[in-house]
Amino acid sequence: MTAALEAKNVCKTYVVNKRQNNVLRNVSFDVEDGELVAVMGPSGSGKTTLLYAVSGMDEVTSGSVGFYGQELTQVRAKEMATLRLDSMGFIFQQMYMLKNLTIADNILLPAFQSKKNRGTAKRREKSAYAHELMYRMGIAELARNDITEVSGGQLQRACICRSLINDPQMVFADEPTGSLNKQASNEVMDQIVTLNRAGTTVMLVTHDIRVAAKCDRVLYLIDGSINGDLALGKHEGDHTLKDRERRLNNWLLDKGW
């Protein structure tokens, strides 16, 4: 198996008002190519910080992060930006879509930012791909809407389309269903499972047992350290979902969740 991600002894320390906050403490884990991994843990345990650290969005204080064999801590800022744009996808709630662009144009933005897509032919190809993605996510009819003219679930599906526009090897998602009701959350998670089954490696942070139960593996973070690693195996269909949820719930209760 190829490792998509190899984090070794990752530490992240923030200094605020001369006070050190060791948010990540020697975090080590692997994500295999094609895996769908969830990170859970109490609020403030460092989940978002971990996602930023292993996706090269933020520098680590010490430790190493391999991304498909490439050591991210050695990559210079400019190359890192290219690597992120071309090989990674992000579904982060804080990364708002631009208000003055339509849904389709927001989805296309990372494509047009990538040097790989210079020229009219490439741009046309990407436009068609954006529409195909929107169709797949069930938001094709919203292409020309402003981002204020869609629901939270639809906007989140647009974020997934945007994260996929450059065919990333791996997608990082921070609470992708966080602001959604149960039905919209199910739909968005099912889309994430579908994109994973099509070959994209996914690492997501969630507080939702129903979301994590559809993942292959769950890492539990507490006080900046990995405190558990539960292998659930591939989610094969809704008939086993209740069992997976029960298993995960018991495991989490054991952890004091």
Q: Which residue sits closest to Mg ion, CB atoms considered?
A: 48
Residue 14 touches ligand ATP, criterion: CB under 6 A = yes
Residue 16 touches ligand ATP, criterion: CB under 6 A = yes
Among positions 39-78, residues that touch ligand ATP (CB under 6 A) are 41, 43-49
How is the chain classified by DSSP, letter by letter? --EEEEEEEEEEEEEETTEEEEEEEEEEEEEETT-EEEEE--TTSSHHHHHHHHTTSS--SEEEEEETTEEGGGS-HHHHHHHHHHHEEEEETTSPPPTTSBHHHHHHHHHHHSGGG-SHHHHHHHHHHHHHHHHHTT-GGGTTSBGGGS-HHHHHHHHHHHHHTT--SEEEEESTTTT--HHHHHHHHHHHHHHHHTT-EEEEE-S-HHHHTTSSEEEEEETTEEEEEEE------GGGHHHHHHHHHHHHHHTT-
The nearer residue to ligand ATP, 49 or 106, going by C-beta atoms, is: 49
Among residues 48, 163, 185, 191, the one that binds Mg ion under rule CB under 5 A: 48
The nearer residue to Mg ion, 66 or 178, going by C-beta atoms, is: 178
Q: Of Mg ion, ligand ATP, none, which one does residue 84 interact with (CB within 5 to 8 Å by kind)?
A: none
Shortest Å, Cβ 9 to ligand ATP: 18
Q: Of Mg ion, ligand ATP, none, which one does residue 43 interact with (CB within 5 to 8 Å by kind)?
A: ligand ATP
The nearer residue to ligand ATP, 43 or 183, going by C-beta atoms, is: 43
Residues in contact with ligand ATP by the rule CB under 6 A: 14, 16, 21, 23, 41, 43-49
